[in-house]
Structure 1
């Protein structure tokens, strides 16, 4: 039985204890053993302090390797079986009985006399003689210290705690406790997958995405009945689950870490650990991270109807939502509301009676945009706001009241589906056509553009003021443009953006447009082709409008109504999509997912909804706010961006040779996701050698560079000098 134990003080830090009561076999019958264990970080290392004793005799207990039993020592014996570990075996001496030690209150433990602040390299792995100084560090977990010199097995008994000693299981258990607060449970490395706590799930090898913090387990073999376990510190995989993972471990490698190959999410064994196969990995549910509901977001009952649009106020993180709801968490809010950052209703934003429509239909707000001054533009199906006539588009003050200084032009005669604000505060509005309004709502007569059908989304290019429109039109300004076009700032067609036949003329539409940092254009909708190439509901275009063939969604979207309604790129190049669908490229995906930069499905994003997703917004901290027709209509999900870095390679002199780089950049903007291992291979021309300089040095070829910052590496091709000595021929006579 595991329970909370007494606190201890270690290096002036108060640490809660874990108390474990078990019954263990011994040479004199079963012992009723109580174990108290404390975990503490010190000098960037992890320490374990353990005392164990027989609760009936008050004798200290320890494992007897010779008899394979637990035995007892008197309290006055030379050793209490207390163990202080720096991921190795170091016994502390004590002459006090356990009860005396505990009843004295918290004990301030000083640094052991053997600790010099450096790792001890003079210990070895007994089965192989391999030096085992463990020098790896991750998340503050350092593997450093000696390995056992006698027994290196871990012995557990059914239902019992057993003994950690200084093995791989102890490292993993200690990591799980310190990082996630998960109390240890019994089992050797082969068994720990069988009865983990409810906070952990076991995934068989190849069945799920791998994330840092997962714990791999290797099965037992004839040579080793205990198996092996380690925790994963780094994952470098492509969208198909192929690449490498890095593991931190005890008693299986001379430096405390290894890289294992992964193919199609299957971790491949290597020569270590007697060639055991990988069973799978233990995954901590709290580490699900991406796609999991954010527990800090509490909207109560939330809106009582669909959410079509979401916008984020940059200055305070408050959230504007719009749709067809009439209340939020029981408070009247007709079609528009503002939330605090925790999801609660912001009562300082009061739209009064909100929007209404006089034709007897239901009003809707389909789109909204926030100006730089905090005022809010809304568009949709309505003809009044808080009792004042406002047809299809209007502007609100930052408190939700009507901005009477904005009166929309009479040329706006139908529902508005999309709004964008230019840097000069002019307003682009798309519906059955596109118009541009001045900051007071009057029509901007300089802007002229005509489409033969509706516009559903638009995106303004910040670099030049041009903007891209998408919808179910087939011509723009009488020129063929099926579903997508780019306009100049005056509304004329930009002919340098040529999508060919676009999405075709079968009644399809582009419902969503997003611009990447590198200028490429993401589109989503219900189309099935782009310029004659199969692209099922999602595609990426180059800056000139041509199809970007490096983004390949495979069979794309299917199921449900079969459309992508919203698409949002992350700064790391991954792409969020939402709509109404049930699969992506053959894999189950319920209306919400994330793609890798190459168009493959990112299976590390674990989300899904029970109805359509209409809107996605990305917070600066990476969290994702989602709105739509699903249960509760609004949600915020945990999510993160990968940091991305630039690798610059220089050649000196250029005639000396060239450099190849593998893999290609895997993040937006030709960057690499943090932790990516990049291999630089110098190809010297005849007569040259290679020396690297800059952020990576040496003469290795190829050279491996881990991308954890922007890096510049120069390949210095050095001419190989050959000394030719003249041959002197002498003759006599």
Structure 2
């Protein structure tokens, strides 16, 4: 059959599919070429066959479309501490099957020895495909330090990174430091920004800290561009450099975003999202973004006063009466030609931190002003209401896509008062819902929900993080699922189509 006729028939078949498919939606559906659309649930297993609850904190997609899922796995694993924890990395092939070349069942485990509890918070890919996992090491005497593990693409620790593949960011004394986020800002030089919190003594407020990591060697930047000199022993003979941001409140780092424009007068801008940052006189919690840059008015790397006048921007997703908690969970930078904007997502909730609604806000990256091109300059707040379902929802991740749109992921109330399904929303650049995407109902465009049955039992399935496939036309998301029959937590991963045009590439796929 001539190629042109084949293409015409494929187009007609596609139009018929649109006509008779629910709502006419052809994207926002599970990608069946990935383990049927969703993996069977997984959990790391050690050599003795023990298993532990798996909570995915980061999803990454390699250039070859293999998927990395970084998780926290509290389990005994023969440790002297009954609650000792390890960090799990699960790698799946492009078709969703476990990658046996990465370890037993496609999984490996990271720890810091029996004297430490470890907790992963974030991860990033190095230019050579190695993964850098950021976490916190909790010691036996109530001290804690940030730490980075480096794992090569073959599943082995990168022995050339720091000490045997593990960097412990250790200050002098007995500090209480916790990791927050890691972000590559110049992969050509393997430079990564790390944000965390530091506490010098019990009872002190936690303050924001940034350090710059050379991801290939596991050393911290020790040149003037990296900030203010602070004395401390990090396992190296030299002093280390960092930015220390003092606030008259206790901070918690939610996420970090960085943009490098070498041609600009201010080439590096960094934005740090603080979760539940500042309570007002009414006890309402808002969210704050801290802006830093290189260079800055404070010389070298420091506060960026161009951002809202003093480097701090506080905001609410909604000012609706009674919604007192506004919590930021993730940041992303969306380039729009010669300018960029900052997208923050999370949720707003009532005074008891229940009845949440998804929150999305957009700001000018440089000035911190509300972006008038997004929802007329007002943050967007919405539920997943559908029929008799209440629809409470929250956002845990955001991804700008190559077509200029935004993907918002999280969880929503499928039935009763639990977050029963993973939520995936696609917004147009102006903040309106993309009516070519979704699966809930005609009255709820741009919104899709994805469940994950566990051995036939009830499930509570959430989207915790997501990443675009290498072609930019599919999104992989990881999270955890809860089985109500035995109280177990399992990891899960799904892949979803983003573009209906996939169906017309070389005919039907």
TM-score calculated relative to the size of structure 1:
0.43
**Residue 405 (structure 2) aligns with:** 574
* In 1: Cα distance, 2:393 partner to 2:423 partner: 9
1:368 aligns with 2:123: yes
Q: Alpha-carbon deviations, 1:13-64, whole Å to 9, x = none?
A: xxxxxxxxxxxxxxxxxxxxxxxxxxxx558458xxxxxxxxxxxxxxxxxx
Q: Alpha-carbon deviations, 1:543-574, whole Å to 9, x = none?
A: 32111133226542466774311001111122
Q: 1:307 aligns with which of 43, 51, 56?
A: 56
Q: Alpha-carbon deviations, 1:234-287, whole Å to 9, x = none?
A: xxxxxxxxxxxxxxxxxxxxxxxxxxxxxxxxxxxxxxxxxxxxxxx42289x8
* In 2: Cα distance, 1:462 partner to 1:374 partner: 21
**Residue 429 (structure 2) aligns with:** 597
* In 2: Cα distance, 1:334 partner to 1:402 partner: 13
CA contact under 8 A between 1:573 and 1:597: conserved in structure 2? yes
Offset at residue 419 of structure 1 (A): 0.7
Distance 1:599 1:485, change over 3 A: same
CA contact under 8 A between 1:409 and 1:441: conserved in structure 2? no
1:564 aligns with 2:395: yes
CA contact under 8 A between 2:116 and 2:138: conserved in structure 1? no
**Residue 240 (structure 2) aligns with:** none
Q: Alpha-carbon deviations, 1:97-140, whole Å to 9, x = none?
A: xxxxxxxxxxxxxxxxxxxxxxxxxxxxxxxxxxxxxxxxxx51
CA contact under 8 A between 1:609 and 1:630: conserved in structure 2? no
CA contact under 8 A between 2:145 and 2:170: conserved in structure 1? no
* In 2: Cα distance, 1:303 partner to 1:461 partner: 35
Q: 2:275 aligns with which of 472, 484, 493?
A: 472
CA contact under 8 A between 2:465 and 2:478: conserved in structure 1? yes
Partner SS, residue 169 of structure 2? coil
**Residue 428 (structure 1) aligns with:** 193
1:521 aligns with 2:342: yes
* In 2: Cα distance, 1:472 partner to 1:416 partner: 13
Q: Alpha-carbon deviations, 1:705-727, whole Å to 9, x = none?
A: xxxxxxxxxxxxxxxxxxxxxxx
Q: 1:355 aligns with which of 111, 116, 120?
A: 111
Offset at residue 358 of structure 1 (A): 5.0
Moved over 6 A (4+): 558-561
Q: 1:282 aligns with which of 20, 26, 33?
A: 20
- Correspondence list, 1:628-707, <5 A: 628-630=479-481, 633-640=492-499
* In 2: Cα distance, 1:636 partner to 1:372 partner: 24
* In 2: Cα distance, 1:501 partner to 1:374 partner: 35
Partner SS, residue 467 of structure 2? strand
1:486 aligns with 2:291: yes
Partner SS, residue 213 of structure 1? helix
Q: Alpha-carbon deviations, 1:607-643, whole Å to 9, x = none?
A: 3134321101111321110111247611111222889
CA contact under 8 A between 2:405 and 2:427: conserved in structure 1? yes
Partner SS, residue 348 of structure 1? helix
Q: 1:497 aligns with which of 293, 296, 307?
A: 307
Distance 1:454 1:358, change over 3 A: farther
RMSD: 3.9
* In 2: Cα distance, 1:617 partner to 1:517 partner: 17
Distance 1:140 1:426, change over 3 A: same
* In 2: Cα distance, 1:431 partner to 1:560 partner: 33
Distance 1:284 1:537, change over 3 A: closer
CA contact under 8 A between 1:470 and 1:513: conserved in structure 2? yes
CA contact under 8 A between 1:451 and 1:473: conserved in structure 2? no
**Residue 329 (structure 2) aligns with:** 511
Partner SS, residue 608 of structure 1? strand
The structure whose RCO (Cα within 8 Å, separation 6+) is larger is: 2
CA contact under 8 A between 2:146 and 2:179: conserved in structure 1? no
CA contact under 8 A between 1:391 and 1:413: conserved in structure 2? no
TM-score calculated relative to the size of structure 2:
0.60
**Residue 419 (structure 1) aligns with:** 182
Distance 1:391 1:400, change over 3 A: farther
Distance 1:414 1:560, change over 3 A: farther
Name structure 2 gaps, 5 residues minimum: 44-53, 76-85, 198-207, 228-242, 262-266, 279-285, 295-299, 318-323, 351-356, 385-389, 415-419, 440-447, 452-460, 483-490, 503-509
* In 1: Cα distance, 2:301 partner to 2:2 partner: 65
Q: 1:608 aligns with which of 444, 449, 454?
A: 449
Distance 1:45 1:474, change over 3 A: closer
CA contact under 8 A between 2:288 and 2:313: conserved in structure 1? no
Greater gyration radius = 1
**Residue 319 (structure 1) aligns with:** 67
Offset at residue 393 of structure 1 (A): 2.2
* In 2: Cα distance, 1:214 partner to 1:421 partner: 45
* In 2: Cα distance, 1:342 partner to 1:45 partner: 31
* In 2: Cα distance, 1:413 partner to 1:379 partner: 16
Q: 2:8 aligns with which of 132, 140, 144?
A: 140
Partner SS, residue 20 of structure 2? strand
CA contact under 8 A between 1:429 and 1:435: conserved in structure 2? yes
Matched residue count: 355
CA contact under 8 A between 2:421 and 2:450: conserved in structure 1? no
- Correspondence list, 1:66-81, <5 A: none
Moved more, 571-580 or 404-413: 404-413
CA contact under 8 A between 2:26 and 2:500: conserved in structure 1? no
Offset at residue 525 of structure 1 (A): 1.6
Offset at residue 300 of structure 1 (A): 5.2
CA contact under 8 A between 1:392 and 1:414: conserved in structure 2? no
Offset at residue 594 of structure 1 (A): 1.3
* In 2: Cα distance, 1:516 partner to 1:591 partner: 21
Offset at residue 576 of structure 1 (A): 0.8
CA contact under 8 A between 1:409 and 1:437: conserved in structure 2? no
Partner SS, residue 428 of structure 1? strand
**Residue 449 (structure 1) aligns with:** 244
* In 2: Cα distance, 1:592 partner to 1:317 partner: 20
Structure showing the higher helix proportion among its residues: 2
* In 2: Cα distance, 1:449 partner to 1:560 partner: 40
**Residue 668 (structure 1) aligns with:** none
Q: 2:470 aligns with which of 597, 615, 620?
A: 620
CA contact under 8 A between 1:320 and 1:338: conserved in structure 2? yes
* In 1: Cα distance, 2:114 partner to 2:68 partner: 25
Distance 1:450 1:501, change over 3 A: closer
**Residue 408 (structure 1) aligns with:** 168
* In 2: Cα distance, 1:43 partner to 1:491 partner: 58
